[in-house]
């Protein structure tokens, strides 16, 4: 029985005291965050907590927004902690166990102002990320966190947040000035415009 379990699941429940197998429902678009570049994040999760983590294969024709179960097995207490780590990675792209020293800040950005944070062809977003050494996540409809997230080391995150807030202030004031000049609504900066194709690759996928 134990050999069969090892072959089918890659682990043996007998190897753990207080064994538990559980899982977290996750969108496939979050799998890369859980796995990490060259598997570094999922390996750290396994090593630090002594659990097994299994990422399911995603059918090519799966429905948009459909979640799949990431399976976790090990000692009961560690499994619960691993679930929290994965949930935090899905929500905020980091957890102290897998991303030590990394923090995040949420920035409230109206939908119409996303384009100011992204910039033409992503130029502003690249500038923010490269200059402050942070990752900026722009939410999509199915994102776990619906605010713009700035992730990185504390100093860079704080400076990037201030920069984004300045962008928003400039955008809002440009919009007000434009509104005063416009006798009828039309093409003011504050008008929400359709999402362009070039923007899609910069919108954070969950």
Confidence tier at 166 by pLDDT (50, 70, 90): very high
Instruction: Share the mean pLDDT of the chain.
Output: 82
Do residues 13 and 19 lie in contact, with contact meaning Cβ atoms separated by under 8 Å? yes
Residue 4: partners with Cβ closer than 8 Å, 6 or more residues away: none
Dihedral of alpha carbons 187, 161, 148, 40, sign: positive
Domain boundaries, the chain: 2-92, 103-200
Q: For the chain, what percent of residues have pLDDT higher than 70?
A: 76
CATH number of 103-200: 3.30.1370.10
Confidence tier at 34 by pLDDT (50, 70, 90): very high
At residue 74, the 3 state secondary structure works out as strand
C-alpha span between 12 and 120 (Å, rounded): 53
Confidence tier at 46 by pLDDT (50, 70, 90): very high
Q: Give tens-digit pLDDT for 115-128.
A: 899 988 899 999 99
pLDDT of residue 60: 82
Is a pLDDT exceeding 60 seen at residue 150?
Answer: yes
pLDDT of residue 62: 80
Dihedral of alpha carbons 152, 155, 156, 159, sign: positive
User: Of 23, 84, 24, 14, which Cα lies nearest the Cα of 49?
Assistant: 84
Confidence tier at 68 by pLDDT (50, 70, 90): very high
- Which carries the bigger pLDDT value, residue 1 or residue 173? 173
Lowest mean pLDDT among 10-24, 33-47, 85-99: 10-24
Best CATH choice for the domain 2-92 from the list 3.40.50.720, 3.40.47.10, 3.30.1370.10, 3.30.43.10: 3.30.1370.10
Do residues 54 and 46 lie in contact, with contact meaning Cβ atoms separated by under 8 Å? no
**Based on the number of CB atoms within 10 Å of its own CB, is 119 exposed (0-12), middle (13-18) or buried (19 or more)?**
middle
Q: What is the mean pLDDT of residues 198-203?
A: 52
Query: pTM for the full model?
Result: 0.74
pLDDT of residue 63: 82
Domains 2-92 and 103-200 share a fold: yes
Look up tokens 């899609």; give the residue: 200
């Amino acid at each position: 029985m134990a050999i069969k379990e090892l072959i089918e699941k890659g682990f043996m429940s007998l190897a753990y005291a207080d064994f538990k197998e559980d899982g977290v429902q996750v969108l496939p678009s979050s799998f890369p965050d859980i796995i990490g570049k060259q598997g570094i994040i999922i390996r750290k999760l396994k090593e630090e907590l002594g659990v097994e983590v299994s990422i399911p294969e995603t059918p090519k024709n799966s429905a948009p927004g459909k979640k799949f179960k990431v399976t976790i097995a090990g000692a009961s207490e560690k499994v619960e902690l691993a679930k929290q780590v994965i949930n935090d990675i899905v929500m905020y792209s980091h957890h102290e166990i897998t991303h030590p020293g990394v923090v995040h800040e949420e920035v409230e950005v109206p939908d119409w102002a996303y384009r100011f944070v992204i910039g033409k062809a992503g130029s502003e977003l690249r500038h923010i990320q490269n200059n402050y050494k942070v990752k900026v996540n722009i939410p999509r409809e199915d994102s776990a966190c619906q605010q713009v997230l700035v992730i990185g080391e504390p100093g860079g995150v704080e400076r990037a947040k201030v920069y984004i807030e300045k962008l928003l202030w400039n955008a809002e004031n440009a919009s007000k000035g434009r509104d005063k000049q416009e006798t009828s609504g039309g093409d003011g900066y504050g008008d929400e415009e359709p999402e362009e194709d070039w923007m899609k690759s910069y919108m954070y996928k969950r």
